[in-house]
Structures are given as structure tokens and as C-alpha cells.
Structure 1
């Protein structure tokens, strides 16, 4: 995968200085024929050191299947559920409460992330999910991005009546996501679009490249390429009769917020932007800060965090050099061998390296959001979660406040108990994204809607 879903930025740590365990209940989702299925792996190590466990797909059956074989080596795992012909291979990542990998059943294969759960309870509660019938209009739409050679599909919702209406484009964060920004059963953009449309806005949300009906290059694409898709979305809106062309804005989440800044700096049709967990720090600095926050939330010692920080800085310095990919790969491998106590890299370690060499990752390291923010003359709404471990609030708010902007119309909101996905949370750790029944905090939606109305009504 070029990037794993919903804003995980790659973090490499080959040290085995702290304990790694697969004990517990692990939950993930896979999309089959357009339907999201919850899958659960329950793992336990007995007193003799042997592993056993069960697998279940609670949306299909209440039956639990024995995991017939479990192989573990360092931070990597392979599981086989022979009764149903299903296998999963993955590795622990981040704060050791997330597994990245893939599953296979027959001819079906899919990348899948598993998140450690506090309990084995099956099923999900998503109290904010939205279903028809609606008291507004919704239509499937599609548009081309000729500049980026992509084709995007999405949904346009708008109030009943003649219009024209103020309109916003919703832009996803990192990784390929659908128009609802769907993850772990949450559909935050669906919830947000419903709320905004009921409050008088036309809302366009679209599937990222190679998701749903959308098409376009992904593996070689960068943030700049995805910004060209959002630019095309704005141009599409500007041609709709139901849209007030003088009242078009962009709402972006995480990398989508960075994309909103890029588009607003280029496209005069954008009259305002809302940045949700938007990075202000330069890419390499953000990733180092992010790794620290995730590691600290996962219980790493300050000594281990300091080592990780120094190691990551060395890796990023290499990746930002203007050298041929082959030379960079060789230099990177030498540095990682050094960081791995001069031990050769294992095959699974090499697999983890490939995303670091991707155009997206190397570009993201170099991008400085301040460059685009300083060009903006439109109103800005910037919101941050105080328990966000992916775009930590304090440092990014401080950086935004210190920028000399061309606009004085800037609203900064800090929500102390919200995480990166704007859910009320205890710690901000990744596994809470999955367990939380909240998809998008209502107070933030209300604050955002009031601000949008002030700028457009």
C-alpha cells in the first residue's frame, strides 16, 4: 500500500528493546462486494508459550472458528483458519496496538489493519450514522481532472428549493478512502455532509482515486496530485446552477487540510477553508513529532523515544536528498542496518521499507504547509484535538499563531478531549478510533457550521 488508511504516517522502529505481544482481541474491517465486514481475531499465549485463538465474522455468523496455526517471529505474525480457508499475515506497528497486513480467503485478497481491542465484544455501535430517507436532495455525480488524468465519483447533497446555495468540498486525509471517509465502521464525512446540508449548504464529497468508481494513478501520486483532484472538484461545483459561485469553500481533514491550503492558494473560486487536524509543521518535523506522541501514548520510555527521534531524523535526511532512487535506497538500507545493531534486514523489514521510497512519502517530507498558508487571503477555520497523537495540537497551534499571514480572519479552535478523528477519547491512542461510538463530535460540527454561516449567509 502507498499509505495505510486514515492518516497513519509510516513509522519505522527496528529495535526490540521493548516487549512486543500479540495477546488480546484484534478487530479490523474488510470490504467485500461493497459491504464492510467486521473481522475479529482473539489471541492468547498459554503458560508453555504456545499460541491459540479464535476468529469470528460477527456480521455473518455468531460462530467462532479456531485459528489452526499461529506463527510469530519478532513483530510479525501469520495465522491460518483452515476451517474457512482464511489466512492473515501482518506485523505490529506504531505503539504495538496496531497490526498492518493482509488477509486472503480463496481468490479474495485484501489489505487489512487490525486494532487491539480492550474486550472481545463483537459488533460496533455507531450512534451518528446516517441513512435515507433524507429531507434534502442527493445525487451521484462524477467529474474529470484533466490535469491529473483522473476521474472522480462522488455524492452531491443540497437543500430542497431553488438555491443557489453556498457549497463546500470535503477532502479526505491520507490513504485511499471513499466519499464518506469511511473507516472502522465510522462514516464521518457522511455525518458531516448530512449536518451541513440540513443547515443550508450544498456538499460535495468524492471517492479517492481507485476507490468506488474513481480512477487515477495512485502509486506514483503525491499530495500535489491529490490537490489537483480537489481543484477539479471546486471547478465542478462552480459550474452547478444550484451553487452560489461566490460562496464555495473547502473542508479538509489532516492531509486533506493541507490540500485545502494548496487549492485555495491557486483557485480564486475558493472563498474560505476549514482545516480539521491540519498540519502546520513541515512534513519531516510533523512525522518526528507524531512518532514521539504515538510512542509516548504506547508507553515507550523517554530514552527509547529519544533514540527513535534521532534515528528517524537520519532516515528523513537521507530521503530528502536529491539523488537517484537506487542510491537513496542503498544509503537508506545501510543506515537501517546500522540502526538494527548492524544485523542484516529481514525480509519483512525490507517489505516495510518500500513505502518510504514512494513519491508520496518523499514529497510529504518536504512539504511545508506554511508556504501555502502565507499565500492565503481567505477566512480560515482551524480546529485541533487536544488528544491528537497524529497532528499534535499544541505544537501546530503554536506554529500557526506565529505565522505572518495575509489574512487576519483566522479562527483557531482547540478541543482538549478530542482525538485526530474528532472523537471524545481517553488517551488518543489508535485503538480508540475503532471502539468509539462517536463518528464526528457534535460540538465541533456546530461550531464549524456557525462559522460557515457567518462567512456565507
Structure 2
């Protein structure tokens, strides 16, 4: 096994010396290097959030990202922010000016390093804003990756994060008690952010925030900086290849901001832009809870940090990097495991109904939807089965169902996706998914795939009720497509993880 080379680095910046990690892939360089600019949740080089009022779960989003980049053949640099980890604090509370100076110092360090060929910047959340400011100040990267980046005025950000928390707390006494116990500072921000913005506009240096028996003096330097240089206006300074990645269920920055960034970058004359939304991922690109109430609570308690990371993030990033800045290193990414066929099951013959041929369209009517032709087969006293014939070229993004299912592949090949992990399914394959578990269905082949879905409960009393449900589903899917949701491989960029995996299992897809 090729082991990446990990080196501690110390990089002088304005008023401090940054402590960081340079991670090189195994082999001989030079390599393209990704400079990882952490956001407001990443105080340390690994991506840990330090909260002065509470202990939050460990978070290592940046370390994971660096490790996966090394496995794909790319170097990376990440560092502790001022006053955290091994980096001493500067002469004042860190501002965006300081963070921009730090990013520029790291970019210069990377440019001068003999083992580095080109320099890309990956801006996580507010790190994307800092990347824009560095470009505005005349220090561009060769390529940019924006990970859940903000593209709106500061007031919108606070309304989305903390205004919603106030509204959530007002829904019930239990919600209010939970919010007070879990995120009292966030609740106070939600009630005071408008007054704080007014104070920043007046030029006030600080704002004294009182909540419960606590008092916190909040520096307003960053607020004034964002008001003077609004985040959504800075993306026009970005030139060169751009990859915009955003979680579909981001509770920190609305997913619509990804499209805004693309629009702003293109309007400035840069057409080399790829935008990919990762299904069911949150701000850290971890697989978010399917329940909206739970997502709200996990976002403000930081319990979302305990969830698994979405594999599509790393797949999409590596594929895009290989296109815009190829590396000479060989990828050490492990191949996807092969699914083995299950053992044959048994059948009970008490109280029998028989479908002579489940694939006979004449015997088994269905409704054609964007997900394929779907129709009922059998209903028992407490179970049911239906079929889906998925068309060639289908892309159906991950989505959850309220009840568990067993799904058997009768004919054709297709790809099962869940949490960014993909498996090639063939005739004879059988899988189970639990209630609320997101699953996606992809057919990167020239022939359709026919699957059977078995459920341990009846969802409709009659076939006609099921047909009515399918007709509503067909209309809803058409609305989603009109709103921009892709349903075929032709609608996806080649760097999309579904396309990357498709080329692995069907070489004709890359032709």
C-alpha cells in the first residue's frame, strides 16, 4: 500500500505563524495541491469546531478531505486558524482581512514548494468568501472548489440560521425549552442580529449580547467587512475552472446559493463552471436526517457531526480535479466491493395467487413515469409487491421512502446508490432498505432494468388506488424536472459521481 507523506509546516503570515499540515500523495511529484480554506465551523486544520460554551462532537471534515485527496493523487495544505491548535493568536480578534492574508500566505507557500505543480483552493463555507477576497486582491488560484459557500447578504445568512431557530422555538413550549438549553447563544443571535447589523453599519466596534444570565461582547469587525464587501458580489473575481458542491439538505447555507454562485461566475465571463448538488447531504457533506425537525435539532446541537460522510463529495471532487488539473500520481482509492448473489429463498403455498409472468406488460398494466414504468403485481393480507421497469439512461437521485422494502432484480443491470456508495446490481441481486434510508436508482446501460419491490405492509387497499398514486407521482416528477431536477444521464455533468461510476461499469458511457 502506498502511504501518503504527512509533514508539519509553519507558514509566516501577517502578525502570526500558521501551523499546518502538508499532505503529499505517495510517489514522486510534483503534484497539484489543494489549499483547504476552512469555514466558520473549522477552527482547527482537521475541521474541529471549538465552542467556548459547550463541548460539541468531534468533527474532522477537513482531515477526511485531505486524506481522500491524497488517495486520489493530490497534495493538500490545511492549517489551524489564529488562536486555535498550534497557531498563535494575532494582534486582535481575527478578521476576514486576517484570514485572507493567511490564505494568501499559504498559497504563496504552495507555489514555492518544489513538489507542487499547480494550486487549487477549496473554500469550505466562509472559506469560499475568503478565497474570493484573495482573488480580488490579486492572488488567484489555478482552480476553485466551493463547498457549501455563501452567496447572499449577511442578513439572509443570519435569518436562515438563527431567525429560523427563533421561529422553531416559538412553535411550542418544548421547542423553546430545547432551544434555550441547547443553543442559547444561537437563540440570542436570532433575536438580535438585525440590531447587530445596524450597530455594524453605524461603525460600532462591538455589540453586548445579553441572554439569560450570560453576557457576551461580540466584535463587529467581520460584520462590517461583510457589509462593505458583500459575499454574493465577490464571486465575480473568480477566474479559471470552478466546481460548486452543495448539500441538498444544508442547514447552514441554503442549497439555492450554489446556483447563485454559478450565475454570478458565468455573468462575469467565466463559463468553466460545474455545479453538483449532493443528495441528502448537509453543510459538512454528511448524510442528513430525513426528518426536518431532527435536522433542525442536530444542526444546532451539532449532533449532525456524528453522521457518516457522503461518498459523492469525494467522487465528484476527484473526477473534476482529474479533468482540470491531472495528477501524475496513481490513485489508491479502493475499488467498490462486489455484491454476491443471495441464497435462494423459500416460498409458502397456503392461500395462493399466481402471476404467470411478472415481466409481461399485457398482463400487468402500469403507469409510465420519469422513474420508469410502474405497476402493481400482488397484494396479500399484510404485504404487497409491485414492479418497476427502469428505462436506459435513467438517473433517479437518492430519496427516502416511509417503509422498508426488499428489491429483487429480474433482468437488466442498474446501479444502486445510497449515501454516495454505489453497487452494480445484476439479475439475481437482492437488497433491503430501511424506512427513511435514501436510495437512488441509475441505469447507465442501453437496455432497461426490471425490478420487483416487496413490502411487508399494504400501502393501498386496491390496484386502482395504487394507479391513482402513480398518476400523481408522474405529475410530481414532471414538476421536479421542470424545476431543474435531472432524470437522465444526459442531464448530468461528466464529473457527477453517477457518471464517474457509470464509466467504471460501462465503458460505453464515456464515449
**Residue 142 of structure 1 corresponds to which residue in structure 2?**
10
**Residue 236 of structure 1 corresponds to which residue in structure 2?**
109
Secondary structure at the aligned position of 1:320 is classed as helix
2-structure distance, mates of 1:262, 1:430: 33
1-structure distance, mates of 2:163, 2:280: 19
Secondary structure at the aligned position of 1:141 is classed as strand
2-structure distance, mates of 1:322, 1:269: 33
Residue 225 of structure 1: how far off its partner (Å): 1.2
Aligned match for 1:191, one of 55, 58, 64: 64
**Residue 320 of structure 1 corresponds to which residue in structure 2?**
200
Assess, with a 3 A threshold, how the Cα gap between structure 1 residues 317 and 446 changes in structure 2: closer, same or farther: same
**Residue 44 of structure 2 corresponds to which residue in structure 1?**
178
Contact kept? 2:145, 2:242, Cα under 8 Å: yes
Deviates more, 1:311-320 or 1:419-428: 311-320
Secondary structure at the aligned position of 2:78 is classed as strand
CA-atom RMSD in angstroms: 3.0
Assess, with a 3 A threshold, how the Cα gap between structure 1 residues 409 and 323 changes in structure 2: closer, same or farther: same
Contact kept? 2:278, 2:312, Cα under 8 Å: no
2-structure distance, mates of 1:276, 1:430: 22
Please tell me whether Structure 1 or Structure 2 has the larger radius of gyration of its CA atoms. 2
1:21-420 correspondence to structure 2 within 5 Å: 135-145=3-13, 148-174=14-40, 177-183=43-49, 184-217=57-90, 219-244=92-117, 247-268=118-139, 270-295=141-166, 300=171, 314-325=194-205, 348=213, 351-352=215-216, 354-355=217-218, 357-394=219-256, 396-403=257-264, 404-420=267-283
**Residue 440 of structure 1 corresponds to which residue in structure 2?**
309
Residue 367 of structure 1: how far off its partner (Å): 3.7
Residue 175 of structure 1: how far off its partner (Å): 5.7
Contact kept? 1:231, 1:267, Cα under 8 Å: no
**Residue 452 of structure 1 corresponds to which residue in structure 2?**
321
Unaligned runs of 5+ in 2: 50-56, 177-186, 327-511
Point out which structure has higher relative CO (alpha carbons under 8 A, 6+ apart): 1
Deviates more, 1:235-244 or 1:373-382: 373-382
Residue 446 of structure 1: how far off its partner (Å): 0.7
2-structure distance, mates of 1:367, 1:289: 20
2-structure distance, mates of 1:220, 1:181: 20
2-structure distance, mates of 1:231, 1:199: 25
CA offsets per residue over residues 108-145 of structure 1, 9 Å max, x none?
xxxxxxxxxxxxxxxxxxxxxxxxx9711111111101
2-structure distance, mates of 1:362, 1:347: 27
Residue 223 of structure 1: how far off its partner (Å): 1.4
Contact kept? 1:140, 1:154, Cα under 8 Å: yes
TM-score scaled by length of structure 2: 0.53
1-structure distance, mates of 2:166, 2:247: 18
CA offsets per residue over residues 21-57 of structure 1, 9 Å max, x none?
xxxxxxxxxxxxxxxxxxxxxxxxxxxxxxxxxxxxx
Unaligned runs of 5+ in 1: 1-132, 337-344
**Residue 284 of structure 2 corresponds to which residue in structure 1?**
421
Contact kept? 2:203, 2:224, Cα under 8 Å: no
CA offsets per residue over residues 142-183 of structure 1, 9 Å max, x none?
1101xx212001111112222111011111111662111124
Contact kept? 1:171, 1:253, Cα under 8 Å: yes
Secondary structure at the aligned position of 2:296 is classed as coil
Assess, with a 3 A threshold, how the Cα gap between structure 1 residues 161 and 399 changes in structure 2: closer, same or farther: closer
Contact kept? 1:220, 1:360, Cα under 8 Å: no
2-structure distance, mates of 1:152, 1:308: 33
Residue 377 of structure 1: how far off its partner (Å): 1.5
TM-score scaled by length of structure 1: 0.59
Residue 430 of structure 1: how far off its partner (Å): 5.0
2-structure distance, mates of 1:160, 1:269: 27
Contact kept? 2:5, 2:25, Cα under 8 Å: yes
Residue 383 of structure 1: how far off its partner (Å): 1.5
1-structure distance, mates of 2:287, 2:199: 36
1-structure distance, mates of 2:190, 2:15: 39
The answer as to 2:292 corresponding to 1:431 is: no
Contact kept? 2:17, 2:88, Cα under 8 Å: yes
Contact kept? 1:209, 1:216, Cα under 8 Å: yes
Residue 320 of structure 1: how far off its partner (Å): 3.2
2-structure distance, mates of 1:298, 1:411: 38
Contact kept? 1:376, 1:406, Cα under 8 Å: no
1-structure distance, mates of 2:32, 2:259: 31
